[in-house]
Structure 1
Amino acid sequence: MRTYLHRWAEAAGAHLLVVDPGSESGGLTDAMAARGVHVTWTRSTVDGLIEFGRVDPQAVVVAPDTPGLPAEDFVAALMRHGNPYVVAALEHARAGDIAPVLLAGASAVVTRPYSAIQLWELLNRSPRALDDHAKVTAGVIELDASAYTVTIAGGRIADLPLKEFELLRTLMLRAPGVMTDDELRTALWGSNASRPSGNTIAMHVTRLRNRLGDAADVRRIRGRGYSLTVG
């Protein structure tokens, strides 16, 4: 389950970049994954710049003592690429260190060691709403990854098992296009995971069809893959 949550958050959720020379502790990454947020942790500001361009995060947390570029120069570099939401990491014994980071453009402060609750609250203040990543709509079906809910015409259906939830979101993102078997395997099990058979995919599709009822159909297109048809 933990592996599934991390892969799900990375592929479909929001992204938080933490630039900090310390080590992740206290189950932060697991706790954020459970909320649909993937945490990328780098230990230098140079690596932080690379990851910023790669993952396009909702927010960036930077500790003033991170090696590489000075933290304030790192923040200034980010500010040249739009208006990212940057958070300065505060250690009470070194409170004065965050002033240059704030002057460079950081707009919030979080205390170290980090907590999932604190970071979740900060993400919800980000100008880039989490709903932009979490919610997907296809016809009368709405899926919310952050709340782990699916509604049909406003009525919530029973919580889906994780694989069916991932399958539905993947098909909704492509609808009415076709997802090949290989694309579904990668989306649901990852490119490096053991590759399930077509029968395994068909089993999950059958269960999902039964849950969706008349609201939508998951069609098997012979020789191509699966497609979600709504209405």
Structure 2
Amino acid sequence: MRAYLHRWVESAGAQLLVVDPADDGGALAEAMAGRGVHVTWVGTTLDGLVAFGRTDPHAVVVAAGAPGIPADEFVGLIRQHGSPYVIAGAGGADDPTTEAVGPLMLAGASAVTVRPYAAQHLWDLLTHAPRSVAEHATLEVGPIELDATAYAVRVNGARIADLPLKEFELLRALMLSSPGVVTDDELREALWGADGKRPGGNTIAMHVTRLRTRLGDVADVRRIRGRGYSLTVV
């Protein structure tokens, strides 16, 4: 994992890996992003092993009955290579895969959530986990303070109007690297994830322009041609 993403995980939230064949189209990722949690969603436990090694997740949600190697075996394997907080995904009362929740708990899962996943319930589980994400959700750069838990930005102690989600993610990425440079590729990964279609530089530039306006004269977001963007306080 890139040093930038490692800092992002430690300082501003967590990586959440979801192993479930029923992809929700990014709804959970969008809901969790504002809380400082980046979601990687894969459809099989075999893909889950690859994603686990790539993202070093804080927590893993695995659907009982997920295809690939048995879900309980998957849980046992990942717990041999770290101490992620594992949440078993259960279906409704009539879902036959719900019977597989018991073996998941025996293999090392610590909690159960019902599918389809509710962002608020997962957030509650993550904030009460042994490694709570809430303690890593605040950043400060000069007079700017960003709190991912409360989805709030304060300047000189005064809360400013809530930022749109992408601008909030952009500001957090810039603050994490300040006064260093965040490349365009790193910004795309922070704002839109590592997979799927990601917009070009013009979309990033549009969000940067809007963020500059919201921050006013307290900070400077500079474009370093050929490299990326940098945030410095004035």
Give the TM-score normalised by structure 2. 0.71
Question: How do 1:6-155 residues align onto structure 2 when only pairs under 5 Å count?
Answer: 14-24=14-24, 27-33=27-33, 35-91=35-91, 92-93=93-94, 94=96, 95-131=98-134, 134-155=137-158
Question: Take 2:127 and 2:38, find their aligned partners in 1: how far apart are those partners?
Answer: 14
Looking at structure 1, the residues matched to 204 and 102 of structure 2 have their Cα atoms a distance apart, in angstroms, of 56
The alignment of Structure 1 onto Structure 2 pairs a total of residues equal to 215
Does the 8 Å CA contact 2:59/2:87 hold for their aligned counterparts? yes
* Counterpart for residue 195 of structure 1: 201
Bigger Rg over Cα: 1
Tell me whether 221-230 or 141-150 shows the greater mean CA deviation: 221-230
Q: For residues 88-142 of structure 1, what are the alpha-carbon distances to aligned partners after superposition, in whole Å with 9 as ceiling and x for unaligned?
A: 2233345542222111111111123332332222222233322355322113321
Distance 2:191 2:39 in 1: 19
* Identical residues among aligned pairs (%): 50
* Aligned counterparts of 2:38 and 2:203: Cα–Cα separation in 1: 28
> Whole-Å Cα distance in 2 between the matches of residues 113 and 161 of structure 1?
25
* CA positional deviation for 1:185: 6.9
Query: Do 2:44 and 2:66's aligned partners in 1 also have CA atoms closer than 8 Å?
Result: yes
Q: 1:23-49: CA deviations, max 9, x gaps?
A: 437944444445444433322211111
TM-score by length of 1: 0.72
8 A contact 2:127–2:133 mirrored in 1: yes
State the Cα RMSD in Å. Answer: 3.6
Q: Which secondary structure state, in structure 1, belongs to the residue aligned with residue 202 of structure 2? A: coil
Higher mean C-alpha deviation, range 43-52 or range 137-146: 137-146
1:61 CA displacement:
1.5
Distance in 1 (alpha carbons) for counterparts of 2:140 and 2:80:
33
**2:171 alignment partner in structure 1:** 168
Note the alpha carbon deviations across 1:122-171, whole angstroms, 9 max, x for none.
22223332235532211332112343211134321222355653443233
Q: Contact 2:224–2:230 at 8 Å: present in 1 too?
A: no
Q: Is the 8 A contact 2:170 2:191 kept in 1?
A: no
Give the Cα separation in 2 of the matches to 1:71 and 1:187: 28
Match of 1:147, SS state, is: coil
Structure 1 CA distance for aligned equivalents of residues 169 and 35 of structure 2: 15
SS in 2 for 1:21: coil
Higher relative contact order (CA 8 A, sep 6+): 2
SS at match of 2:174: helix
The residue that corresponds to 1:218 in the other structure is: 220
For residues 221 and 63 of structure 1, the distance between their equivalents in structure 2, rounded to whole angstroms, comes to: 43
8 Å contact 1:163–1:188 — kept in the other structure? no
Instruction: Provide the rounded CA distance (Å) in 2 between the counterparts of 1:145 and 1:32.
Output: 10
Structure 2: 5+ residue runs without aligned partners? 1-11
Supply the distance in 2 between the matched residues of 1:24 and 1:198 (Cα, whole angstroms).
Answer: 25
